């Protein structure tokens, strides 16, 4: 393990400014930094005890090209991770504002006295989930709406690389040898919930519904992407209380381009009290079969009256609507026979668990937890 006490580690952020007019200053501007702050695992060095502060030195020398650098005079054990976050600003004299810069790095130590361990995962370390390509999500919707009858064989055929149930396979290597058994080792999964990084261990769906399982025998992690907009995860191998290896992976939910139009016109015939309409929705240029599954569609009407102006009325939510002419405020006279029917459409948010006033999960008659989006 390197001695950072006798030979300190120096970390220096490179702060650059590029602006087209070149009236301020292009290039490296560390010497102009002010309001410099470094945090260690979320704790500002300036707020640490005097003893702890002596382990760190922040360069605040005026005019120094290394201004903002951090000198570390403490050793980092192999079981530790120091998440170091820099923040500082420069004064933009052209606009009279402060421009802030920030970045983050991690400092750790590997114990070279024993075999090196590594963890690898199959596929990409950044996964993109597109709910509009999720056949399992569509299957669940059709069953819930009574469009089809539940069938386990059909459901199994919908479980693929693009469904919300994402199973990630991992392998552990000791040196160059893949380990078939992990007896005596602990595999833990962590999720980052904040910036700077705050990784929290995941053990059950009670703690986070996005967590489905962590199976050491099959070397798999299964997550439910319906509950995630984005996620940063850390898979860690531990033995005897010491971290031996870790691997990071992330996911992002794709936000698609949605376009829609009403199916029918809005002419009013004598005697009519209600008008039916439906939404035609395209996602990334392709027709969507079941818009209510993934889109929030809110119907509205506009009626113009020369004396009162435009009257806007919001109606129901869903891919279909039945509009009351009386509610819309149209059709009372023979010349009062037109209104504008439209809807506002957005991609639905992630799923959320339903809880009561005490914070307990709501369940159905079979004890299954309820959730919605």
| CATH number for position 126 | 2.60.40
> Would you write out the chain's pLDDT as a tens digit for each of its 373 residues?
567 777 899 999 988 887 766 667 778 889 999 999 999 999 999 999 999 999 999 999 999 999 999 999 998 887 688 899 999 999 988 888 898 999 988 888 766 656 688 999 998 888 999 999 999 999 999 999 999 999 999 999 999 999 999 999 999 999 889 999 898 899 999 888 765 556 677 766 667 889 999 998 899 999 999 999 998 999 999 888 888 899 999 999 998 889 999 988 767 777 778 889 999 999 988 899 999 999 999 999 998 776 777 889 999 999 999 999 889 888 665 555 578 899 999 999 998 878 778 777 787 777 777 777 7
pLDDT at 332 (0 to 100): 64
Residue 35 CB neighbours (<10 A):
11
Rounded distance, CA 329 to CA 218, Å?
63
Cβ-based neighbour number of residue 191 at 10 Å:
19
289: domain range?
A: 258-347
Mark whether 226 and 140 lie in a shared domain: yes
Structure tokens at 280: 């035609």
Pick from 340, 289, 275: which is nearest to 319 by CA?
289
Q: Are residues 284 and 200 in the same domain?
A: no
Tokens 């279909």 — which residue? 320
Domains identified in the chain, total number: 3
The answer to whether residues 249 and 127 belong to one domain is yes
Decide: helix, strand or coil at residue 373: coil
Q: Which pair of tokens denotes residue 82? A: 């120091």
> Does 148 lie in the same domain as 25?
no
Answer whether residue 367 is part of any domain: no
| 129-138 burial: b if 16+ Cβ within 10 Å, else e | bebbbbebbb
Please give the Cα distance from 251 to 223 (Å, whole number). Answer: 10
The pTM (predicted TM-score) of the whole model is 0.65
Q: Is residue 166 classed as helix, strand or coil in its secondary structure? A: strand
* Closest listed residue to residue 142, CA positions, set 153, 151, 133: 151
């Amino acid at each position: 393990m390197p001695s950072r006490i006798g030979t300190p580690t120096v970390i220096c952020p490179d702060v650059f400014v590029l602006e087209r007019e070149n009236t301020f200053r292009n290039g490296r501007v560390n010497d102009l930094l002010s309001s410099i702050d470094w945090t260690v695992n979320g704790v500002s060095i300036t707020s640490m005890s005097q003893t702890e502060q002596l382990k760190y030195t922040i360069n605040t020398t005026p005019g120094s090209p290394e201004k903002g650098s951090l000198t570390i005079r403490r050793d980092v054990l192999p079981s530790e991770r120091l998440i170091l976050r820099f923040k500082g600003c420069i004064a933009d004299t052209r606009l009279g504002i402060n421009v802030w810069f920030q970045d983050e790095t991690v400092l750790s130590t590997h114990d070279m006295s024993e075999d090196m361990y590594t963890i690898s995962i199959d596929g990409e370390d950044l996964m993109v989930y597109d709910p509009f390509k999720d056949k399992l999500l569509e299957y669940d919707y059709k069953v819930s709406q009574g469009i089809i009858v539940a069938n386990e064989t059909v459901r199994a055929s919908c479980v693929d690389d693009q469904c919300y149930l994402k199973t990630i396979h991992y392998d552990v290597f000791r040196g160059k040898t893949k380990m078939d058994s992990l007896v005596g080792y602990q595999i833990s999964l962590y999720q980052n919930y904040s910036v700077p990084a705050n990784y929290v261990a995941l053990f059950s769906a009670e703690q986070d519904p996005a967590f489905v399982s962590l199976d050491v025998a099959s070397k798999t992690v299964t997550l439910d992407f319906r509950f995630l907009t984005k996620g940063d995860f850390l898979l860690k191998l531990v033995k005897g209380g010491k971290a031996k290896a870790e691997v990071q992976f992330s996911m992002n939910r794709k936000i698609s381009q949605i376009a829609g139009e009403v199916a029918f016109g809005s002419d009013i015939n004598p005697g009519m009290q209600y008008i039916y309409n439906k939404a035609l929705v395209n996602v990334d240029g392709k027709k969507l079969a079941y818009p209510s599954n993934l889109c929030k569609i809110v119907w509205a009407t506009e009626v113009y009256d020369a004396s009162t102006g435009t009257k806007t009325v919001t109606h129901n939510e869903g891919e279909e609507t039945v509009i009351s002419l009386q509610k819309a405020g149209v059709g009372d006279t023979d010349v009062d026979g037109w209104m504008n029917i439209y809807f506002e459409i957005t991609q639905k948010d992630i799923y959320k668990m339903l809880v009561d006033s005490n914070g307990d999960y709501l369940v159905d008659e079979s004890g299954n937890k309820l959730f919605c989006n």
